[in-house]
Amino acid sequence: MTTTIADYVIVGAGSAGCAIAYRLAEAGKSVLVIEFGGTDMGPLIQMPGALSFPMNMSTYDWGFQSEPEPHLGGRVLATPRGKVIGGSSSINGMVYVRGHALDYEHWEESGAAGWSYADVLPYFKRMEHWHDGGHGGDPTWRGTDGPLHVSRGTRENPLYQAFVDAGAQAGYQVTDDYNGKQQEGFGPMEQTVHNGIRWSAANAYLKPARATGRCDVIRGMAERVEFTDGRATGVRLAGGQLIEARAEVIIAASSINSPKLLMHSGIGPGAHLREHGLDVRVDRAGVGQNLQDHLEMYIQMAASQPVTLFKYWNLLGKAYVGARWLFTKTGPGATNNFESAAFIRSRAGVRYPDVQYHFLPLAVRYDGQAAAEGHGFQAHVGPMRSTSRGSVTLRSGNPADAPKILFNYMSDPQDWTDFRTCIRLTREIFAQDAFAPYRRHEIQPGEDVETDAELDVAIMEHVESAYHPCGTCKMGAVDDPMSVVDPQCRVIGVDGLRVADSSIFPRITNGNLNGPSIMVGEKASDHILGRSLPRSNAEPWIHPEWQTEQR
């Protein structure tokens, strides 16, 4: 079989992998990126408003599913991951959230030295090209010339402002930039969209990396990492081709595929690997453990006025939206339509927000099925920091087989308390005067669902993944038996191998994970190149009365 050589071999052309490829190529290194998926060209990916299509297409999605979830009545939940250039940034909802400053303080306290907010903020600024759209925000907290364009929707629909006004009427903070000084509160939502086009990691990073002439993409299925004398020296593809790395191999294959590839390479829980006939190179108990995600529920209201996106929910309307986007890159097709957001605390004594809202002026499911009621609107809501943990394990010793994914959702009794709180807080927001001109009645879970027991049934039946899996190759101290990588993203126990993607998150961040995943790629590239940005001394806002006030 042919052998191809580069300085660095990256497995996965996703959010982190593309960022690393760009920074290494920019620094003069030769880079080969291995990606199993195909091209990201075509309107279904590039048109933001079409976001429900690519994540439901086997062309672009690995098609993973959870095992039957024991605390959700045995439900099997879809676990989409991007199988395409750009990875999940090519099929996601394009919501851009850095996470809360205190998320990163927790990372550092749990052993990820050098990943505090002061350390990561300069990387968020380096990666961003921020467009405020005239909606406020403090530019000193944001980046202005990075590869990743971050914008805000036009917010023309009156429901977007109604949501923020309702939050203020309910007594919550209003924030003009949840990615700036103050995450807590209601305000405009940000998206990785530029001039009406999905600004994926492929558009932001991989295309410019390839333009340098030092970065190439090889299409293939990575089966295992190859080692020589304890050092990673290449990646073996299905079919036998070897891709050799002069310097290092970097795994950026997602929180599902990164631990899987490590295990097939002999790095993981020893007994589990032996069970599947695999030789154990490094017995690392944490590989595939610590799996986390965000669950959310769609609280849906029927609308009393035809102001929602439902007016386009027919053949003629969809044709209009598509044609307008194709010719002008404007209109409902040029946005993910999540243009208002909120981060709130569920109760007094919680130091920073633990509940997130996405607001959508349409009552619709993630698979694109509109509510039977016609005109409506919804808030996606869920707790941010569940203590439930799951795992990614091998189904067999065959690299072609999908792994077993068990999130173990809702396994902590506190999860049920928190979710009931989320639903009740949302109802209170929708009951404010700001929504009076627009609200008819509650569609989901329905006004007759009130008691704890009734809410629990609704939660069990209707919660959905927000598609934020992470944590399966935890970054931490070298002497922590559950750490998989050290704070430089190096796999503990071997040389020349790193993991850099959402799998290394010690704990899930507040909000959507695409921004933090790209940040991990940016920071990992500096660790690889032996450099770092100076720390920030910016002071984030924390509610001064958090110990005694919920809002």
Q: 24 in the Ramachandran plot: left (φ > 0), alpha (ψ -120 to 50) or beta?
A: alpha
Q: Is residue 244 part of a domain?
A: no
Q: Is residue 455 part of a domain?
A: yes
- 195 labeled part of a ligand binding site: no
Measured CA distances, 402 to 67, 74, 116, 398, 508 (Å): 11, 19, 34, 9, 23
Confidence of residue 365 (pLDDT cuts 50, 70, 90): confident
- 114 labeled part of a ligand binding site: no
Measured CA distances, 202 to 20, 21, 216, 413 (Å): 12, 10, 13, 40
Return mean pLDDT, the chain: 96
Domain total in the chain: 1
Question: Which residue(s) pair with 465 in the sheet?
Answer: 295
pLDDT score recorded for residue 137? 85
List pLDDT tens digits, range 97-120: 999 999 999 999 999 999 999 999
DSSP string across 232-295: EEEEEETTS-EEEEEEEEEE-SHHHHHHHHHHHTTEE-HHHHHHTTPPPSEE-TTTT-SBB--E
Confidence of residue 533 (pLDDT cuts 50, 70, 90): very high
Q: Is residue 207 part of a domain?
A: no
- 84 labeled part of a ligand binding site: yes
Do 502 and 485 meet the contact criterion of CB atoms below 8 Å apart?
A: no
CA distance 522 to 287: 23
Structural domain of 186: 126-196+292-465
* pLDDT for residue 2 is more than 80: no
- 94 labeled part of a ligand binding site: yes
CATH number of the domain bearing residue 400: 3.30.560.10
List pLDDT tens digits, range 204-236: 999 999 999 999 999 999 999 999 999 999 999
Confidence of residue 543 (pLDDT cuts 50, 70, 90): very high
Confidence of residue 127 (pLDDT cuts 50, 70, 90): very high
Q: Is residue 342 part of a domain?
A: yes
* Percentage of residues in the chain having pLDDT higher than 90: 95
Confidence of residue 201 (pLDDT cuts 50, 70, 90): very high
**Strand pairing class (193-194; 197-198):** antiparallel
For this structure, is 264 an active site residue? no
pLDDT score recorded for residue 1? 64
CA distance 386 to 475: 19
pLDDT score recorded for residue 211? 98
* pLDDT for residue 303 is more than 90: yes
Cβ neighbors of 90 (< 8 A, separation 6 or more) are 40, 45, 54, 60, 82, 84, 198, 200, 201, 202
Q: Please state the rounded mean pLDDT for residues 443-463.
A: 97
Q: Please state the rounded mean pLDDT for residues 367-375.
A: 78
pLDDT score recorded for residue 366? 65
* pLDDT for residue 369 is more than 90: no
Span of 212-221, 234-243, 274-283, 366-375 with lowest mean pLDDT: 366-375
Q: Is residue 187 part of a domain?
A: yes
pLDDT score recorded for residue 371? 75
Confidence of residue 135 (pLDDT cuts 50, 70, 90): confident
Q: Is residue 513 part of a domain?
A: no
CA dihedral (206, 211, 214, 215) positive or negative: positive
CA dihedral (348, 354, 360, 366) positive or negative: negative
pLDDT score recorded for residue 136? 79
The HSE-up count of residue 161 (CA atoms within 13 Å, CB side) is 8
Position with higher pLDDT, 341 vs 138: 341
What is residue 461's three-state secondary structure? helix
Token pair for residue 350?
A: 């919680």
Q: Which of 284, 269, 283, 286 is nearest to 473 (CA)?
A: 286
Q: Which of 149, 375, 380, 468 is catalytic?
A: 468
| Alpha-carbon dihedral 138, 144, 150, 151, rounded to 10 degrees | 60
Question: What single DSSP character describes residue 203?
Answer: I
Q: Is residue 471 part of a domain?
A: no
List pLDDT tens digits, range 136-165: 788 999 999 999 999 999 999 999 999 999
